[in-house]
Amino acid sequence: MVEFINEKIFGFSPTEAALAVPGQVIVALWAAFLILNLIAVGALLFIWMERKIAGRIQDRLGPTRVGGRFGWLQTLADGIKLIAKEDLMPGGADGLLFRLAPYVAFCASFGAFIALPFATGWVGLELNVAVFFITAVLGLEVFGVILAGYASASKWSLFGAMREAAQVISYEVPLGLCIVIPVMIAGTMDLIKIGNEQAGWFTNWFLFHDPFTFITAFVYFTCATASVNRAPFDLAEAESELVAGFHTEYSGLRWSFFFMAEYGSMLLVSALGAILFCGGWNGPIPVVAMIGGEHASQLSGFAFVVANLLGTIMFLGKAILGVTLMMWARWTLPRLRIDQVITTCWKYCTPIVGVMFIGVMVWQAYQLPSPRDLGWGSLEPGSVREAWHPSDEAKATPAVDKQARVDDLQMTDDAQARVE
């Protein structure tokens, strides 16, 4: 796409990559625009869903008037109300940090989306370490919360922020371990490759790889809910004790930025879970492959775009399903106490994931049977598995002593196969 814009629109084909920037800037702006709109429109949808689901679970109707029968324009009305609200700041607050905090939270949520693929090759920035990048950037969101809580000069806010900090720092441990397990099976941290490894029938999903990954997926969901600060883990904004926690002193548009960040993060962790455990953009039935004979990653041109569009719809569907589950949990379960939250993390989630980690390791090492062995519609491992850079691989073959050295060292099966 970069070459296309440079050649067709600017009319030159740059010889040096450093000069290709105008095209790159346009592509980057386009990607940023799409992601921003995904978060904003997603927030509109999720706030309406939240109200509707909460209503139905509590045996009432939820919004019914704005925008017709289902009240589907309710969020827009909410947004107009928020924009029209007076923007307040407490007298004792630290002005700079108080103003910046919502943007920090939002930027962290937005930044993580950059590396999230929506289908084969459709990603803001294709990173070799996408999983790692997303977890790293997502962890920064809590910083916005802490800044908000601290800068508000309010004890409720500060308590909320401290709880959030303790909770997020704790839950990063089991969450990271949960993420390592699919990475270990896939052999790469590239989300596109992880997604493509699960191509084909739903039996190829890592969720069904073995009993351990099945349990891990649920632990991941629990930890993800906690790490994005959703009920029953929403201690930071526990309204029964802390008024509204870290955003007690916020109003109007600044407050809504926190909510955009929260819904953005919910979508992000659900999407990440969908890629890691539920096949990402690959449907339960490989429809595209059945009709076209090939997976989207092997197609090109128009067929590729159509296949990827279907994949994106499938992927967003899974992500929204995850968000819906979080809402269901929020309106069903009572809020935990802070000691129960930390206990859940350190005494339950972390040991369970540790055992699952060892279990999956053993399962992989002894090559125990898994539904993936049926290989229904799966891609060849070589076409998705990341290994050495091709030039390294080409050079590694000739020297004999090197080969012996390589064989001595424990390497991935794949690398060994290539050397041989």
Residue numbers at the binding site for other proteins (CB under 8 A): 10, 12, 16-19, 21-22, 92, 94, 96-97, 100, 127-129, 132-133, 135-137, 139-140, 142-143, 146-147, 150-151, 153, 162, 165-166, 169, 172, 189-190, 386-389, 392, 395-396, 399, 402, 405-406, 409-411, 415
Distance of closest approach, residue 413 Cβ to other proteins, in angstroms = 14
Distance of closest approach, residue 395 Cβ to other proteins, in angstroms = 4
For other proteins, the closer CB: 44 or 151: 151
Q: Where do the DSSP E strands lie in 262-415? A: none
Structure-token match 């999903």, residue found: 205
Length of the chain: 420
Distance of closest approach, residue 76 Cβ to other proteins, in angstroms = 34
For other proteins, the closer CB: 326 or 384: 384
For other proteins, the closer CB: 324 or 364: 364
157 within 8 A of 245, measured Cβ to Cβ: yes
Distance of closest approach, residue 119 Cβ to other proteins, in angstroms = 21
Taking only Cα atoms into account, the Rg of the chain, rounded to an integer number of angstroms, comes to: 24
C-alpha distances out from residue 170 to 101, 145, 164, 215, 349, Å = 22, 16, 10, 20, 10
213 within 8 A of 124, measured Cβ to Cβ: no
**Under DSSP, is residue 175 helix (H, G, I), strand (E, B) or coil?**
helix
Distance of closest approach, residue 367 Cβ to other proteins, in angstroms = 20
Distance of closest approach, residue 17 Cβ to other proteins, in angstroms = 4
For other proteins, the closer CB: 392 or 413: 392
Q: What are phi and psi of 119, to 5 degrees?
A: -165, 175
Q: How far apart are CA 224 and CA 171, in angstroms?
A: 8
What ranges in 58-140 are assigned the alpha helix state H?
74-84, 95-113, 130-138
Residues 6+ apart with CB under 8 A from 117: 123, 126, 130, 191, 192, 195, 275, 280, 281
Distance of closest approach, residue 241 Cβ to other proteins, in angstroms = 18
Q: How far apart are CA 376 and CA 383, in angstroms?
A: 16
For other proteins, the closer CB: 376 or 388: 388
For other proteins, the closer CB: 114 or 289: 114
Tokens of 62: 């939820």
For other proteins, the closer CB: 50 or 172: 172
Burial class (CB in 10 A: 0-12, 13-18, 19+), 171: buried
For other proteins, the closer CB: 127 or 379: 127
For other proteins, the closer CB: 157 or 204: 157
Distance of closest approach, residue 75 Cβ to other proteins, in angstroms = 31
Distance of closest approach, residue 393 Cβ to other proteins, in angstroms = 10
Closest by Cα among 198, 121, 181, 187 to 387 = 187
Q: How far apart are CA 359 and CA 343, in angstroms?
A: 23
